[in-house]
Amino acid sequence: MSDDSAPTCLADTWSDLSAKGYAITTDEALGLPEKFRANFGQTYFNDQVLEDDPGGKPPGRKRARDVILYKWRDGDLHVQEHKKITIKDRDGRPGEREHARVDLLNDPQAEELIRTLLSLVPPDQRQSDGTFGVNLFRTVKDVVTSPHHDHEELCVIYVLDRVGGGAQTQLYKPDDVSDQGKPTADPVLTHQLNPGEIIIFKDDLFKHSTTPLEPSSGETAQRDVVVCTVDYRETYLAPPALEVTGADGSNAVTGALTRCP
């Protein structure tokens, strides 16, 4: 178990991510304005934007979501709202779900955050076109249920505010977590992200988790985070897989749908 807490600038973040599969930095190191966290938190982490998630795991979490369609062209980043924000088969809940949508690109400060977080992907590892899932979460106790993959290319967690202790972000080697989500070895990283800190990691290299929030005496624990995913094309952009069931019930043909002209 280790605690790797040295904030790094963008170039260091790229090299850490390439070398270790994860990197930790801060909003300040990345050049976000000093008042960014307070302004962003005030604008979005309230009951007008965040909604309850009935049946959600963990219970009690409020959330909102956006999906950004991005393009890298000659080093320039172009962003626009994606038409869909549907989540499929996440958090151990099969099927499709819709959550409250917030169109972040209507807001210059939110666009600046999205551009900053997308820039954490090393230039040689960027997709020319892709989607970027952005989730706003307010949690009051359990942050996640057990170590898991998000099944996307990269995950980014940015802590805006935390009241209380605990909430240690943990990265495990995938083989060190049973299929039932029980760790069989210590995590390779345990780090309590403080407000302003950002972690990015390669989702396939780790199962990630966060320990429960621990209230301090006389306070109600609460943690506000932005959790993003650099998505695989299959999540929103690739054509859906075609499955044809044979007479014997087997998948006779599997492939990509060809779009008709």
Residues within the interface to Fe ion (CB under 5 A): 150
- Minimum CB separation of residue 8 from Fe ion in Å reads 23
Q: Is 94 helix (H, G, I), strand (E, B) or coil?
A: strand
- Minimum CB separation of residue 124 from Fe ion in Å reads 25
- Minimum CB separation of residue 57 from Fe ion in Å reads 11
Q: Between residues 150 and 153, which has the closer beta carbon with respect to Fe ion? A: 150
Helix axis angle, 108-118 relative to 36-44, nearest 10°? 120
Parallel, antiparallel or unpaired: strands 93-97 and 251-256: unpaired
Q: Between residues 66 and 150, which has the closer beta carbon with respect to Fe ion? A: 150
Residue closest to Fe ion, measured at CB: 150
Residue with tokens 């050049």: 31
Q: Between residues 27 and 150, which has the closer beta carbon with respect to Fe ion? A: 150
- Minimum CB separation of residue 157 from Fe ion in Å reads 9
Q: Between residues 57 and 71, which has the closer beta carbon with respect to Fe ion? A: 57
- Compute the half-sphere exposure of residue 60: CA atoms within 13 Å on the CB side of its CA: 14
Task: Give the integer Cα–Cα distance in Å for 9 and 62.
Answer: 31
Task: Give the integer Cα–Cα distance in Å for 57 and 18.
Answer: 31
- Minimum CB separation of residue 208 from Fe ion in Å reads 6
Q: What angle do CA 240, 245, 246 make, to 5 degrees?
A: 145
Residues contacting 85, CB < 8 A, separation 6+: 65, 66, 67, 98, 99, 101, 133
